[in-house]
Amino acid sequence: MANPKPELRALALTAASAYRTKTVTVPEWSNATVTLREPSGEAWLRFREYIDEKPENEEEAKLTVSQQFLRNKRADVILFVDVLGDEHGHRVFGEEDRGIVEEIYGPVHARLLRQAIELGISQDDAEKK
């Protein structure tokens, strides 16, 4: 088997080219330019583990509307810290920032996360939109 072209190998092994990305301007953040990246497999795993956590007793199993909202917001933050990059594509937050992001997480963050998640849909699904 022939060795692949060095430039193809380099591209395939570059972390930045392992994900679809999208550059957007955020008017609510003084027109800041950010890079959104589709969520990583690790972030989806942490998201699923958090959502699938089961309470220890049956009484805790039934969440109030408020508890459901907070659970869903925390789950979104798990993904959000994974997908937001600066204008150069460098991650803005680390896992240690989840608590502070959760405190201020709002509709702007949710819209950005939705756009990042949409980057992960299949090409066939993207063409249908």
User: Looking at residue 58, what is its pLDDT?
Assistant: 57
User: Looking at residue 123, what is its pLDDT?
Assistant: 56
Domains of the chain by start residue, with CATH: 19-128 (3.30.2220.20)
Q: How confident is the model at residue 31 (pLDDT cuts 50, 70, 90)?
A: very high
User: Looking at residue 103, what is its pLDDT?
Assistant: 97
C-alpha separations of 30 from 33, 35, 115, 116 in Å: 9, 15, 19, 20
Query: Are the CB atoms for 22 and 36 separated by under 8 Å?
Result: yes
- Which sign, positive or negative, has the C-alpha torsion 59, 63, 66, 68? positive
User: Looking at residue 124, what is its pLDDT?
Assistant: 57
Query: Are the CB atoms for 38 and 117 separated by under 8 Å?
Result: yes
pLDDT in tens, 69-106: 999 999 999 999 999 999 999 999 999 999 999 999 99
- Which sign, positive or negative, has the C-alpha torsion 121, 122, 127, 129? negative
